[in-house]
Chains A and B, each alone.
Chain A
């Protein structure tokens, strides 16, 4: 009576030439009726079963296993063939153990374990952040401080210490950094390239880096400096340090600076450093008055313009979205209400309104925009502002923060257009578009026109295209960029051509 012997080996990968050769050598053995050597996929197991080559052991194999199956006239012959097969399969064994994971409890133990580490990310309550950042600086580490609520005077002292040590402090309240393609905190999955970003604005970096990615270029490094860095008190200390780093980085050809308008004194210092650089620059000081620029730098009004200038291409030439400004708001509706998660995106929308000479108010106004009051007509609201997020998560993390405002705007008979930003990427909500769609599906059919753009890339965890598709299906007019969304809102009200 024939005997079947099976052997199953896991993690052995051999090409079919080798497998077929060994199978045939086995089949040529005296007393071997049939032999096969195959990976244990269901299809192959079915073949082996029908050939009468499968035993209990073989039936348990999976697609990652190699199955040796032999049918012989007796047990001794089968075992001998199996042993020969094992010998034939042997190759230099290069299996090693997996690196164990280990979590350090202190900065010092982390540095002891990873002696080549040179960056620490500090994310602790603001009261403790400076102490941790100072420890990192004393260990010779550059620091990213994600924490907010760090007193201004402590930021000033900390950054002075960093400058003296030749180190970079990114932050406090630095939410977006990309180093060597590694996104830290709120950042998008963008390709590597030769454009460096330095920003005092998280969502500003996200919009510009995502647009650069969509234009086919990539980012060398994106360094956040914290929202107060370009104030008179701090003096642009981190931006100057970041400029030096990118100037010395062979992988950076062009640099984009993003910030709200700096003080005149700080702008002068920064632009002096820019002028001394052999890199070219796109500078977007959102809402700033015209400034004299060095010959290697161009001042851009919007994030979109900065990204396009950095790449030398137009986003509208590659964007899939084609906003339809022929959509008309209902009778009696005349107001635009912008509800933004990103403060810099709200500021960029304000720039668009200013440039089109349309009056607008905001809770975070840039120069030339009035402060939000209950009777304001067009309003652009930064929902990430402290007044909305105190004791609550940021709207990028929890869309519920915006829902109440959105429901209110959709039900307001004077509102013609609701303008939204949708910021995706690492750290952001897993599906912000569906959260908006859910609100819209409950709104009445004569609701205001809703216009949105998605800040992010197709390779983000949420997938920009998928998010845009969800919004489009919910009846949202999609614009290719945040600036285009603001323009589309104005066009819908025939406020611009």
Chain B
């Protein structure tokens, strides 16, 4: 196994320049020194390091907990040596693919998602009202679970995924609203997660994005017990989805996801209607349906908090 000892060697120059790294990605590569390329796309690639995957993506794809964001020339030549199976060598200063420098890792700053500086039931209510006002302009994709953005009764065209997800989303909504008997909570969670996890066609199936949105919202709101319970159920079901999506779910278990979803979440929690429009536009550009699927999970949690103001958040009771 090659060991980089840059203390005794000179620095290399690579075509890509890392600018930001998400917490999950940082934790995966920090201390690691090798991996392999597992997937390659037009503007990004995934590498596997010690069983976890990290996304390496062009900076215009948006920051994410699982991503090393790279600034590059328009030709994306930093991706030139990304081939599935190619060996990756990681040093503190450089990511090399097949022995070729690909991405400089210095300087690389840690990206942390935005947080709502101050929020209450009143601000949350304003945020959800702003979302409702925006609804007439919504151009939700026909696919995925974005149709559940306005409640557990799906609107829009029923698809295979939305039909399959309906019961599970209803159950999760009841659970987070405290309607489920406490003795049946773990069973409801396990069943709902098993239905949703891996549900949908893409790299991050819609069901996974929905669950990630719920986890991130529960974490942001400080609903620790609920977040912990759902996180346990998701972790137990991780093998029910693909490796790329597992990576995003693991980050969501820690309360972190993509930049656009966090911006929308903060706008909703802080009641900043003026920030909601740009945030939703950014979400619309995340995958085919992923942005909307994640937001549906977020809103499921936020509505539950409005419906259940006695929910204890970080030891305090919202009023």
Q: Who on chain B is nearest to A248 by CB? A: B7
Partner of B201 from A23, A119, A182 at Cβ < 8 Å: A23
State whether the Cβ of A331 lies closer than 8 Å to any Cβ in chain B: no
B244 interface residue (CB < 8 Å to A):
yes
Residues of B near A249 (CB, < 8 A) are 7
The answer to whether A41 and B199 touch across the interface, beta carbons within 8 angstroms, is yes
Known: A39-B242, A459-B31. A51 touches B160 (CB 8 A): yes
Output the nearest chain A residue to B6 by Cβ-Cβ distance. A180
Residues on A with beta carbons closer than 8 Å to the beta carbon of B27:
459
A63 and B86 form a contact (CB under 8 A): no
Mark the stretch among B39-47, B113-121, B131-139 that contacts chain A: B39-47
Q: A15 contacts B41, CB within 8 Å?
A: yes
- The answer, yes or no, to whether A330 is at the interface (CB within 8 Å) is no
Let me know if A388 is at the binding interface, CB within 8 A.
no
Chain B contacts of A114 at CB under 8 A?
2
Of A11, A15, A96, A118, the residue contacting B202 (CB under 8 A) is: A15
What's the minimum C-beta distance from B55 to chain A, rounded to whole angstroms?
Answer: 11
Q: Do A41 and B197 touch (CB < 8 A)? A: yes
**Whole-angstrom distance between the alpha carbons of A220 and B106 in the complex?**
13
Interface-located stretch among A42-50, A340-348, A413-421: A42-50
Residues on A with C-beta less than 8 A from B201 are 16, 19-20, 23, 36-39, 44
Verify A43–B84 contact, CB threshold 8 A: no
Q: Specify which of A98, A180, A183 is in contact with B36 (CB 8 Å cutoff).
A: A98
A180 close to B87 (CB less than 8 A): no
Q: How far is the CA of A19 from the CA of B206 in the complex (A)?
A: 13
Residue A142 lies at the interface, judged by CB distance under 8 Å to chain B: yes
CB distance from A13 to the nearest CB of B (A): 4
A223 — nearest CB in chain B belongs to which residue? Answer: B7
CB pair B240 A41 closer than 8 Å: yes
Instruction: Say how far A239's CB is from chain B's closest CB, in angstroms.
Output: 16
The answer for the CA separation of A189 and B27 in the assembled complex, in Å, is 11
**Which residues of chain B in 1-54 are interfacial with respect to chain A, using CB atoms and an 8 Å cutoff?**
1-9, 27, 30-31, 33, 36, 38-41, 46
A-side residues, CB < 8 A to B, are 11, 13-17, 19-20, 23, 36-39, 41-44, 46-47, 51, 63-64, 94-99, 101, 114, 116-119, 142, 179-183, 189, 191-192, 220-221, 245, 249, 251, 459
What are 19 A-B pairs with beta-carbon distances under 8 A?
A11-B84, A13-B39, A13-B244, A16-B287, A16-B288, A39-B205, A43-B164, A43-B197, A43-B199, A44-B198, A44-B201, A47-B199, A96-B83, A97-B85, A116-B9, A119-B5, A180-B4, A180-B5, A180-B91
Known contacts being A251-B92, A459-B27, is A44 close to B8, with CB within 8 Å?
no
Residues of A within 8 A of B87 (CB): 98-99
Asked if A44 contacts B199 (CB within 8 A), the reply is yes
Q: What residues of A have a CB within 8 angstroms of the CB of B242 in the complex?
A: 13, 39, 41, 63-64
Cβ B92 vs Cβ A180 within 8 A: yes
Among A20, A23, A183: residue with most chain B CB under 10 A: A20
Q: Considering only CB atoms, which chain A residue lies closest to B92 in the complex?
A: A192
List the 9 closest pairs (A to B, CB-CB), nearest first: A16-B202, A41-B198, A94-B83, A13-B39, A43-B199, A16-B288, A17-B288, A38-B201, A43-B198
Q: Is A14 a contact partner of B200 (Cβ separation < 8 A)?
A: no
Residue of B7, B46, B195, B244 with most partner-chain A CB within 10 A: B7
* Residues of chain B with a CB closer than 8 A to A94's CB: 40, 82-84, 86
B284 within 8 A of partner (CB): no
B11 vs chain A, min Cβ distance (A): 8
CB neighbors of A among B135-175 (8 A): 143, 160-161, 164
CB distance from B174 to the nearest CB of A (A): 20
A95 x B92 contact (CB < 8 A): no
A459 contacts across to B, CB distance below 8 A: 27, 30-31
Contact A118 B31, CB 8 Å, known A51-B160, A94-B83: no
Give the distance in Å from the alpha carbon of A96 to the alpha carbon of B88 in the complex. 12
Tell me, yes or no, whether B196 is within 8 Å of chain A by CB. Answer: yes
B196 touches A43 (CB 8 A): yes
Nearest-Cβ distance from residue A206 to partner chain B, whole angstroms: 15
Complex Cα–Cα for A91 and B23 (A) = 32
Determine how close the nearest CB of chain B comes to the CB of A397; give it in whole angstroms.
Answer: 21
Choice from A13, A16, A51 contacting B200 with Cβ under 8 Å:
A16
A443 to chain B, nearest CB (A): 33
A residues near B289, Cβ cutoff 8 Å: 16
Residues in chain B near residue A37, CB distance under 8 A: 201
List the A side residues contacting B244 at CB < 8 Å. 13
CB distance from A313 to the nearest CB of B (A): 18
B258 part of interface (Cβ distance < 8 Å): no
Contacts of A179 in B (CB 8 A): 3, 5, 7
Asked if B6 and A16 sit within 8 Å, CB to CB, the answer is: no
State the CA gap A475–B283 with chains docked (Å): 49
Q: Within the assembled complex, what's the spacing in Å between the Cα atoms of A101 and B83?
A: 19
A189 CA to B39 CA in the complex, in Å?
28
| Interface status of B255 (Cβ within 8 A of chain A) | no
Residue pair B160, A47 in contact (C-beta under 8 Å): yes
A124 to B244, CA, bound (A): 42
Do B203 and A43 touch across chains, with their CB atoms under 8 A apart? Answer: no
- Shortest CB-to-CB span from A456 to chain B, Å, is 13
A493 and B273 CA atoms in complex are apart in Å by 60
Question: Please, how many angstroms separate the alpha-carbon atoms of A462 and B290 in the complex?
Answer: 36
